[in-house]
Structure 1
Amino acid sequence: MMDMLMSTPNYNASLLAMATAALNALDSSHAGAAHATEAQQSHFLCNWMAQALKDKSFDKAIAGELTLWVRQGRSMGSSAQLKRLLQTIRHQYSTLAEHTMGLGNALAKMLEDARQQDVIVYTDTPVKTKLKLDADGQSSIIVCADEYQQHIRDGELIKPISLFVRADEKFLAKLAFSHGLMLTQGDKKSSLIKHHKSYKLFPKNQLPSLALLTFH
């Protein structure tokens, strides 16, 4: 009966647990020694993740990411930068694990911060069909007016909100992180605004997939 009541680990927790375990294993191995090369570290982590997949050591929610990173490790070697990737995940996800409340207020502060850095920000335009923003290439963030008004209540994000963004992703990742927010990976195909990528914020920062990382 107890097993039936236990909840499945969420994506964030599973990913953080995996990254932490992988880096701890690396530190305890010969590949984690000070004289080890990046190639040796990448080889170790690639094999470790492949074994974790085989043993089903972590929730299946992150199986897709593990499969991708194993493939990249095998084909790219040290260029896959697996250690740096896992370090970024561990830092970002552990830091934001406590940021689950007040995300509506955090978004408002993030957008104001963006304005101060000369980013065009619109939150008063309904986004229901294909649109084009003529901004001469200036960075811009557009949030659907209906979502901005209806998906935030008393400073809390109660439903996912889409952000349509034209900006350097490194800038965007660091901007979101500095305000305690996790964004989904950008997608041009799902964007209703030309030259913009579509991102999503989710209540309590509980994304269903890999967040936009401050490491690229």
Structure 2
Amino acid sequence: MKSYAQQLLNLVTLAIDELEADHKKGRLANTPVSNTNFLLRWVTKSLKQQRFSKLMVKDLTTWQKQGRSKGTQTALYQSFSTIRDFYQHYFPDFEAPKPILDSQINQFIDHMESIGWSVCTEYDLSGDEKGQLFTEGDSSLVLCAHQCDDCFVDGKNEDGTESLTKPMSFYVRGNHAEFIKEATKAGFLVHKQTDYKSKVKYHGEYLIYPNNLGGQLAEIPIGFNTEEYP
């Protein structure tokens, strides 16, 4: 079965291709309102016809609800285009996945500290209990000490690095948009679980997955463009 990321990229690419085909045939005016209305109908039709797998149902339903509440202000064409560009950029070849390495995590921690974030990696958060950590500054990042080792078990590479083999949590307080931007630039696709309620009080939780292959839409940095991101 194809991964969520591959299915999502296929979905938005098909939607855009079919929309642009109608532009070329003169069936559809290339305006924001016309494009949004086309995609809203396309989403609803896809759901009714069960055109895509169950992995895509949640996203399709979310877009359908957005259309019902926001109408033409949903800007689905822009959203689909951004999702397509984002996933094409980070997954140029699904047959050759790029692993997340322990060295990348270490470099990211150093980088976040260098730009003024308070970073904590010394506590074991693997249990069910919620913890209250007192972190300094306006923004803080907490990683579980147990996960920093356990999530790389059996991921040893020939060059001495270790690849991520299990989902890993990042707990974030403060400037979430900056965290998403910096994490993405570091090569991590982050997947939001909560805004501020998590095992760590006042911190939201994000997950990264082996090979960046999560089971939900990743957080896309505000104003994403491929030139700014490696």
| 2:28 matches 1:28 | no
Alignment partner of 1:177 is 2:175: no
Report matched runs for 1:26-175 at 5 Å: 26-30=19-23, 36-97=30-91, 100-127=98-125, 128=127, 129-135=129-135, 138-152=138-152, 153=155, 154-175=161-182
Task: Give the TM-score taking structure 1 as reference length.
Answer: 0.86
Query: In the TM superposition, what whole-angstrom CA distance separates every residue of 1:88-116 from its partner, at most 9, and x where no partner exists?
Result: 21122111115621433322222222111
Partner Cα distance (1:9, 1:122) in 2: 36
TM-score for both structures, normalised by structure 2: 0.81
Unaligned runs of 5+ in 1: 1-7
Q: CA RMSD in A?
A: 2.4
* Deviations, residues 9-68 of structure 1 (Å, cap 9, x unaligned): 211100010111111222222499897332221111111111122222222101111011
Of 85-94 and 29-38, deviating more is 29-38
- How many residues align? The count is 209
SS in structure 2 of the partner of residue 159 of structure 1: coil
> Which has the larger displacement, 180-189 or 98-107?
98-107
Give the direction of change, closer, same or farther, for the CA distance of 1:178–1:77 in structure 2 (3 Å limit): same
Aligned to 2:11: 18
What secondary structure is seen at the aligned counterpart in 2 of 1:185?
A: strand
- Superposed structure 1 runs of 4+ greater than 4 Å apart: 31-35
Matched letter for residue 17 of structure 1:
N
Query: Does the aligned pair in 1 maintain the 2:196–2:202 contact within 8 Å?
Result: no
Change over 3 Å in CA distance of 1:96–1:103 after alignment to 2: farther
Question: In structure 2, the residue corresponding to 1:36 is in which secondary structure?
Answer: coil
2: CA distance between counterparts of 1:139 and 1:205? 24
Quick one: which amino acid aligns to residue 11 of structure 1? Y
Structure 2 residues not aligned, in runs of 5+: 156-160, 224-230
**Counterparts of 1:101 and 1:136, CA distance in 2:** 32
- Partner SS state of residue 122, structure 2: strand
User: CA–CA distance in 1 between the matches of 2:88 and 2:119?
Assistant: 29
**Shift in alpha-carbon separation, 1:156–1:32, aligned structure 2, 3 A:** farther
Structure-2 change in CA distance of 1:107 and 1:71 (3 Å): same
Q: Provide the residue aligned with 1:3 in structure 2.
A: none
Letter matched to residue 176 of structure 2: E
Cα distance in structure 1, aligned partners of 2:4 and 2:25: 27
Residue 192 of structure 1, aligned match among 196, 199, 206? 199
